[in-house]
Amino acid sequence: MAQDEYLSLNVEDPDETRARLALVKGRLAAHDVTLPPGRLARFERLSEAFAAKTLSPARAADRPRDLVELLEGNRDFHEVGAIVEHLLPPAPPADPVMFTKLKHVLGGAPLPSEDANPLARSTQFELYVAALCARGGLPVRFQEPDFVVTAAGVRLGIAASVPAARRSSALCAGHIAATEGAA
């Protein structure tokens, strides 16, 4: 993985993405879950097209929607990858609350602005925050509010919610344009 000295940019090469996809799909398969046809499965196809250079920002006019879906799918995949790597054990059983939420996360429209119900992405963010806590060495228990961690002997209840701006960046951009036009 290439990164700058300040760790602000992480770029996986196509082989790393394929390997991580295989790990995620393998771990899901160990729990009898397949990647449903949807946003993450579409990311897999689009990332292969990008790796083969048949999908490129240099030719954005050819497939603009695919590029937008690739970018959104890349973020989704890396969040789901962290969830699977840090919260889903290599073999069953898994925490039943987390497992139910993870199966729900795998659905959803390719773009947030197209989600009829934002619950899949909201739940994805909740599990992603829990995965980051687990990656940091904090034990995670799924209970109200969303999950509980213990840090330095202190139990912390965490409720994670997707900011409204992330749910619909198109609405936000439209609002900014309308505000600038009114000024």
Match 């439209």 to its residue by tokens. Answer: 174
Distance from C-alpha of 92 to C-alpha of 145, rounded to nearest angstrom: 25
Range of the structural domain that residue 105 is part of: 2-138
Q: Confirm whether 166 is domain-assigned.
A: no
Pure H helices in 35-118: 39-51, 64-87, 96-105
Q: Confirm whether 144 is domain-assigned.
A: no
pLDDT at 182 over 70: no
Per residue in 77-117, pLDDT (tens digit) is 999 999 999 999 999 999 999 999 999 999 888 888 888 87
Q: Confirm whether 14 is domain-assigned.
A: yes
Q: Can you give the pLDDT at residue 58? A: 85
Q: Confirm whether 75 is domain-assigned.
A: yes
Question: Whole-model pTM?
Answer: 0.81
Q: Confirm whether 114 is domain-assigned.
A: yes
Q: Confirm whether 59 is domain-assigned.
A: yes
40: β partners: none
Per residue in 5-25, pLDDT (tens digit) is 554 445 678 999 999 999 999
Pure H helices in the chain: 14-30, 39-51, 64-87, 96-105, 119-135, 164-167, 169-182
Q: Confirm whether 126 is domain-assigned.
A: yes
Match 């059983």 to its residue by tokens. Answer: 93
Q: Confirm whether 161 is domain-assigned.
A: no
Give the number of domains in the chain: 1
Distance from C-alpha of 17 to C-alpha of 15, rounded to nearest angstrom: 5
